[in-house]
Structure 1
Amino acid sequence: MYFDTAEGPVFRPPSEAHSFILRVTIGCSHNACSFCTMYRTVAFRARPLPEILSQIDAARPYAPHIRRIFLADGNALVLATDKLLAILQALRETFPRLQRVSCYAGPKDMLNKTPAELAALREAGLKLVYYGLESGDNLILQRINKGVGTAEAIAAGQRIVAAGIKLSVMVIAGLGGQAHSDSHALNTAKAVNAIQPQMLSALTLMLYRGSELLTEYERGEFAPLSPAAIMGELYQFVSHICLPQGHHCLFRSTHSSNYVALAGTLPKDKDRLLQELKAAATRLSRMTDWDPYNNVE
């Protein structure tokens, strides 16, 4: 649900399907990842506070039904902390049944917030941050133009966790292609182990029209993985995740990009997830034709 006529497309995580989508920025301030075209059609801008408050006012009649709010677009944490606190205060005052406010965040924006600023945002109601780690491999992060290396990518996630804000980490299977599949799986698992998020989602690489990665593929410079190889890479990834006993990390691969929907809690369900991945790899190995553009089985 959103009340917005501003330019550009609207995106939200699958788990925010029933949330009020409040666009506090338009587009993505980085907007340069080689695999992503989500916000390529719109220029980034931070929305003025009056513009944001008008959207909150438009949702006021629905206040009794609104419990979750997602701050869009691509990285709400790029806004100044004082402005975010003003937005969160307005949300608390307008929606008495509000339980959770969440947002996407880029690694540089997370690192630019001090621990004290993040603590203040948590106390004001920011309960969940969705973070596209994508990969924990330094070479892959450079190749996709993520804007940070492995050390910064890990430190960004750790800063959110240390602030007491729930962190949902997203990684992309197949992002390293055939050439870097092993290092992608291993180093991404190492990054997850270092961050220790509360939620972890695995997506599968899709080659979108207009992306630099698709151009590389069509020039023969990037060799994508087959569906069975994707399962093999995910098997390696999950097998190397070693979270402390007692830690509860919800793992999902239910995004529409995935060949197989998996759900469990790590580390508790690790053995079951590995068995399911092995079975999926066997089943998908029988595919003789597959589409790297949309990953439809």
Structure 2
Amino acid sequence: MDYQGDIIRPPSEAFSLILQVTTGCSHNRCTFCGAYRNKPFQIKPWKQIEADLDFAATWCGRHTTLFLADGDALALPHALLTTLLLRIREKLPWIRRVSSYATCQNIMVKSDEQLRCYKQWGLSRLYMGLESGHDPTLTAIAKGVDSEAMITAGQLVRAAGIFLSVTCLLGIAGATLSQEHAQATAEVLSRMQPHQIAVLTLMPLENTPLYRQIRAGRFILPNPVQLFEELRRLLADLAPFRTQFHANHASNYFALSGRLPKDKDVMLATIDQALAGLVPLKPEPCRGL
């Protein structure tokens, strides 16, 4: 398999076959993200993609899920993405799920019919980075869209029958706007109603504009207590819709996971215990992205 640069995938794709069809991210402007800073976005040559599929057909028969890397395979033109999905089905018929990251922008340029087509040909899960439902924060971190666009994109994915996993980022609004960020994010998620919510905690990377803002004193990171209060507000304010809620990423200080709405009270109680100092916290050196 041909892999160029570091390969990043969601935790739930840990055992998936990784097929790198693009390099970099088609947006690549978010102030907090350092994943693709020195990796220009481009679609890999079809000849290389075909060669990787041939390799996988010979050597990767034990994988039943496949993740399309890098940052946003949905940036592929419709005809090319359709051809790719058909070729995966033809050459790797044992693959039961194909997944990809997807930016709001690239979801929005696809028609309802195109999204349904991707679902029909095997693309059954998309991971979208919301980060925040707070419009001033979305502007500050250069997401390139507002909360209404995020909601529309999420609803389009759900309407196509594709499983939608949405990422939120504790601490991304800074200490001052922490509660506003949590409240607005809960409101957006309640309207979007993704199948899965994944909550991570901001860990500044040295190669990002946000890190330079922190060093210059223009961005104040929330302390752990503020982060736990932010998490509690986000969870408490969610409407009672059915979803998986995971705050168990390596970046988080403690693990929280359950199904909403049935596990909401239990998870809120766990957060309250953390606020009271009764939950063992992950040491800083053990946190990571």
TM-score category by the smaller chain?
Answer: over 0.9
1:127: which partner in 2? 124
Deviations 1:32-88 (A, max 9, x none): 100000011211101122221111111111343121000000011011111111111
Which letter maps to 1:282? A
Unaligned 5+ runs, structure 2: none
Query: Is contact 1:88–1:124 with CA below 8 Å preserved after alignment?
Result: yes
Question: Shift of the alpha carbon at 1:191?
Answer: 0.6
Partners of 2:278 and 2:148 in 1: CA distance? 35
Question: Shift of the alpha carbon at 1:105?
Answer: 0.3
Question: Shift of the alpha carbon at 1:96?
Answer: 2.2
User: TM-score, normalization: structure 1?
Assistant: 0.93
CA pair 109-294 structure 1, distance change in 2 beyond 3 A = farther
1:55: which partner in 2? 52
Listed as ranges, the matches of 1:188-267 within 5 Å are 188-244=185-241, 247=242, 249-267=243-261
Q: Aligned pair 1:171/2:171, yes or no?
A: no
Q: How many residues align?
A: 287
2:108: which partner in 1? 111
CA pair 94-88 structure 1, distance change in 2 beyond 3 A = same
Unaligned 5+ runs, structure 1: none
Query: Is contact 1:100–1:127 with CA below 8 Å preserved after alignment?
Result: yes
Partners of 1:284 and 1:203 in 2: CA distance? 21
Q: Secondary structure at the match of 1:186?
A: helix
Q: Aligned pair 1:272/2:266, yes or no?
A: yes
2:31: which partner in 1? 34
Query: Is contact 1:228–1:285 with CA below 8 Å preserved after alignment?
Result: no
Q: Cα RMSD (Å) of the superposition?
A: 1.8
Query: Is contact 2:19–2:67 with CA below 8 Å preserved after alignment?
Result: yes
User: TM-score, normalization: structure 2?
Assistant: 0.95
Question: Shift of the alpha carbon at 1:285?
Answer: 10
Question: Shift of the alpha carbon at 1:185?
Answer: 0.3
Partners of 1:40 and 1:55 in 2: CA distance? 25
Question: Shift of the alpha carbon at 1:187?
Answer: 0.4
Query: Is contact 1:227–1:284 with CA below 8 Å preserved after alignment?
Result: no
Q: Aligned pair 1:160/2:157, yes or no?
A: yes
Q: Secondary structure at the match of 1:89?
A: helix
